[in-house]
Structure 1
């Protein structure tokens, strides 16, 4: 079953990337050289992503990225994260990845600042 194999690999990737903040190691572990990036501020390819993301993860010891949930369906995987940095509002992040031949080949992300006041009492996480 493709989902089971992708889920196990993705959980390891998520741990390396978000929890341990080892961006280059996470990318070396699971990201393809054909990596397509849909975030308009990052070029395609794993090297561009590592260059942009390492300062936010590896080099930010006070930042935290709390994984809320992981979803995997066949060749798609998503992680929902609470991102916290000192001096900045928390953010809700949804990172969506596409697998091909057991490697991550594509990425989309959606980020939303956690508001100080909400129109309701439903939590974002």
Structure 2
């Protein structure tokens, strides 16, 4: 299993409401994250992902790019909370040690109703 596969599968599982499984399979016991809206430990983020899935059972993630470089993987995706949501362009950056995710950053930008840039976000 490659680091890119693990990063993408982690995101897909979490989006589908299977955050416990995603963390069990892929996250190190030394995990930390940098989402400013939650405490930096694994359990807090896992529970927040679970709650988000409960509130948004039709959430989707469409992965557009995944780039690996040594111990880092960056995944560029389009996350929608429901079918009517224009969504958010998100970049997740994963750091790995011994085949497990040990650190995670996420950056997002809302998809606007009207885009000036003809190239779009994806």
Q: Is 1:108 aligned to residue 105 of structure 2?
A: yes
Kindly report the root-mean-square deviation, in angstroms, between the aligned alpha carbons of the 2 structures: 2.0
Task: Name the residue aligned to 1:99.
Answer: 96
Task: Name the residue aligned to 1:118.
Answer: 115
Correspondence for 2:63 among 58, 61, 67: 67
Structure 1 runs of 4+ aligned residues shifted over 6 Å read none
Structure 1 segments unaligned to the other structure (5+ residues): none
Q: Is 1:22 aligned to residue 18 of structure 2?
A: yes
Cα distance, 1:58 vs. partner? 5.2
The aligned length equals 121
Cα distance, 1:52 vs. partner? 1.0
Q: TM-score, normalised by structure 2?
A: 0.85
Structure 2 segments unaligned to the other structure (5+ residues): none
Q: What is the alpha-carbon distance in structure 1 between the residues aligned to residue 112 and residue 5 of structure 2?
A: 33
The answer (yes or no) to whether the contact 2:93–2:106 under 8 Å persists in 1 is yes
Q: What is the alpha-carbon distance in structure 1 between the residues aligned to residue 5 and residue 86 of structure 2?
A: 32
